[in-house]
Chain A
Amino acid sequence: MLSTGFYTLLKREVVRYMKSPWMTIVPPLINAVLYMIIFGVAVGPRLGDVNGFGYIQFMLAGLVMMTAIINAYNNPAFSLFQARWHGNIADVLTSPMSYFEILMANVIAGMFRGILTGLLILVPAVALAGMPVASVFWTLFFLLLVCFAFSCLGVITGLWASDWDGANNLLTFVITPLAYLGGVFYSIDMVKGIPLLYQLTLLNPITYMVNGLRYGLLGMSEVDLMFGTALIAIMSIGLFAVCLRLFSTGWNLKK
């Protein structure tokens, strides 16, 4: 797994987005800053504390997770789709790299982008705005695990998409709405009385991911932590198993 081929492909997948930061790294940061200004500074103070934390701190944890999720997903989804669409995927498919190595290079590059963008929001917040970090371990644990799961989902999309819309649709119609309904901007407590929204929030796996990161940063949890962690772990394993299967059978990779 630690072959020159693997490192070369990993480097390619990382350089791909590092070379155009104005398209990959900067937009999510601008989004995050805007959210913080609007919801954190303008609207937030009127909401008062959430479970003992300022709204801006509560929201920031959600925002970090949402950004990490979207970026971890986007990288393999678009990189693999582009490579299939143009045909340059043959470059790696005809090489002596194993399918496992090709898969892992894509997954790890996606995780790295997710974690990088997440930390680019989180680190300044901790350094400049006194954002607490209750546990570095749990913070990194949830970031890593969730980025792994969504990078795998990105790989699946990258193999499945047959056109540019397909690559985008899952993000626009599934992941982004789920992220918004996953307690990024509100606590479960706030929506308790609202039918449907409350149930949707509890059924939404992203709720447990956001909650996990909030536990790492703020030390608070609104749902059963064990249950949430188990759910995310099972999702990750399931998605990874699908990726392995698709790669080993050459689904949409070979004619």
Chain B
Amino acid sequence: MPSGTIISFKNFRKEYKDLTAVKGLDLDIKKGEFFGLLGPNGAGKTTTISALVGLVKLTSGSITVKGHDSVKDYKKVHALIGLAPQEENLDFWFLNVREILVYHAGYFGIPQKEAGKKADDLLKMMDLWEKRSSKVMELSGGMKRRLLLARAMMHGPEIIVMDEPTAGADVELRRKLWKYIKLLNREGKTIILTTHYLEEAETLCDRVAIMNKGEIVAMGTPEELKENTKIKGMAAGKGRLEDVYMNLIREEES
């Protein structure tokens, strides 16, 4: 059960040259929570996540993880988070699939032997065992995505951040993946997920935030959102999360 705040965004703002990608975001995520960050393309989801892991400089505001400031105490914060990014960024230059995982764990301070064992477990888990000696170039799109997820879990982080992990994943993998993530979540890991599959978010997430144009336009449990959003021609609480979402985004545009 989620309890206590683990991640806290305070008035986080990000400007790229002449574009404001995130406009003063306030968000608390609870420890052990399965949190969904939803919103259309360009809403600012990836920017928000990237700021959390130190890949984006904050224009203003702050982010704390377990009370550590994400800028000043970046080392402590980084150790707590595993990231599966939206864009494939595997270190393909000369490493094979297994080496990618072992080196990654090394950067997080895990000795090679221990990392090797963990890599083997995750490769089997993600159905990549046969490909362990392959080069990234020889993997299919979905396999690369699985490898990104395995990499995020290599150092056993308390917080797992997944930016559209199921884009391009086949049905079987998607099911398997959710089973595994749910298990991790039940063990107490905090999960942050962005996805464009709203049914997925509806069934998985304890709480979701819907972002649009750099702002959170609605936040709550999927049930709360359905209760509180008036959708034309539908009784309160009867629609799907997708209807709520479309309603909110369309409202913004009009």
Contact = CB atoms under 8 A, between A and B. Distances in A.
Interface of A: 3-5, 7-9, 11-12, 15-16, 19-20, 82-83, 86-88, 90-98, 250, 254-255
A240 B182 CA distance: 47
Contacts of B79: 96
Nearest to B104: A91
Nearest to A79: B93
Q: Determine the main DSSP class of B at the interface with A.
A: loop
Question: Which 5 pairs of residues, A with B, have the shortest CB-CB distance?
Answer: A8-B106, A87-B89, A95-B107, A88-B91, A96-B79
Contacts of B90: 88
Nearest to A92: B107
A8 B107 contact: yes
A8 B79 CA distance: 16
A5 B108 contact: yes
Contact of A96 (B91, B104, B109): B109
Nearest to A12: B103
A91 B107 contact: yes
Contacts of A93: 54-55
Interface residues of B, number: 31
B109 A255 contact: no
B94 A91 contact: no
Contacts of A91: 89, 91, 103-104, 107
A255 B107 contact: no
Interface stretch (B1-9, B80-88, B168-176, B192-200): B80-88
B67 interface: no
A95 B95 CA distance: 18
Contact of B106 (A4, A16, A86): A4
B153 to A, nearest CB: 14
A225 B50 CA distance: 50
A9 B107 contact: yes
B124 interface: no
Contacts of B111: 4
A37 to B, nearest CB: 33
Nearest to A3: B109
B70 to A, nearest CB: 11
A254 B83 CA distance: 16
A253 B32 CA distance: 31
A255 B89 contact: no
B178 interface: no
Contacts of A87: 85, 87-89
A82 B55 CA distance: 17
A106 to B, nearest CB: 13
Contacts of B76: 96
Contact of A16 (B55, B57, B87, B93): B93
B92 A88 contact: yes
Given A5-B106, A8-B103, A254-B57, 9 more contacts: A4-B111, A9-B107, A15-B94, A86-B89, A88-B89, A88-B91, A91-B103, A93-B55, A255-B16
A250 B50 CA distance: 14
B37 to A, nearest CB: 18
B71 to A, nearest CB: 10
A4 B92 contact: no
A64 B52 CA distance: 46
A96 B75 contact: yes
Contacts of B217: none
B106 A7 contact: yes
Contact of A254 (B55, B85, B93, B94): B55
Contacts of A90: 55, 83, 85, 89
